[in-house]
A and B are shown apart, each in its own frame.
Chain A
């Protein structure tokens, strides 16, 4: 799953990293944003149950909906 800070919310980490890019001479780099990418397994054969559980995990714990948006993909592993 991918957690992104809302576009209107300042990302100081991205800003700091971008400063480093400019110091490196990479002057065309703009709008650096640091997101979170989280991987995990979910042990259920039922896709809709899995979606519900992952959605709960995202909205209640992994992301704070006040400042972050999230999206996720489910892949069958066997």
Chain B
């Protein structure tokens, strides 16, 4: 394998699928294919991305209906066998509803849809999604855009996340300090991204695909895609 193949799932209501495709294919020249929600085959993908958006109109709860899309059976089987699955924003919400990651998303504590650049402290660099981000680079600048990104889990789940080092990103100040002021949505412990215990399923609320093209003035998101691609090749 000379380069990994990404599969981007398209649900009705996904709206970051093409941005992600543009970044991975046009900017970085990885192999990428779209996977329609009614498909029952991942088409040889090495990495499956659940993109941002408003799958099924966010009806009932965010991500709740997408989890029963035919493609999700394949995604769950793939993840169970150790395949890499990356959920961004709505994709993260779908991973929570599916149970591939623990916890739930509540409405932002401000009740407002929040769309802005935030800083993320990298809490764990020993994951396939973060290993290789250069030494000394411990804070990433990546935008968020969501109304329901207030991560919540019970105490027992949080303890498990801590014990297994599953918290990958926390909202922080530009200097990497974890403060209430830098928490944009009320997430418990400032959690912005978590990984499963096995280390192959990862979800984050911020949008790395919106901070990958230098023309937009920030490229920290690209570090995650490159880390993932390189770690899969090795």
Interface residues of A (CB under 8 A from B): 9-10, 12-13, 15-16, 61-62, 64, 66-67
B64 and A64: CB pair below 8 A?
A: yes
B152 and A67: CB pair below 8 A?
A: yes
**A-chain residues with CB within 8 Å of residue B104 when the two chains form the complex:** 64, 66-67
Number of interface residues of B (CB under 8 A): 16
**A-chain residues with CB within 8 Å of residue B103 when the two chains form the complex:** 66
Interface residues of B (CB under 8 A from A): 60-61, 64-65, 68, 97, 103-104, 106-109, 111, 152-154
**B-chain residues with CB within 8 Å of residue A67 when the two chains form the complex:** 104, 106, 152
**B-chain residues with CB within 8 Å of residue A66 when the two chains form the complex:** 103-104, 153-154
| Closest-CB distance, A36 to chain B (whole angstroms) | 8
**B-chain residues with CB within 8 Å of residue A61 when the two chains form the complex:** 60, 64-65, 68
**A-chain residues with CB within 8 Å of residue B154 when the two chains form the complex:** 66
B107 and A12: CB pair below 8 A?
A: yes
- Can you sample 6 A-B contacts with CB below 8 Å? A9-B106, A12-B108, A13-B111, A15-B111, A64-B64, A64-B104
Complex: how many Å from CA A61 to CA B97? 9
| Closest-CB distance, B62 to chain A (whole angstroms) | 10
**B-chain residues with CB within 8 Å of residue A62 when the two chains form the complex:** 60
**A-chain residues with CB within 8 Å of residue B61 when the two chains form the complex:** 64
| Closest-CB distance, B90 to chain A (whole angstroms) | 15
A64 and B97: CB pair below 8 A?
A: yes
Complex: how many Å from CA A15 to CA B60? 19
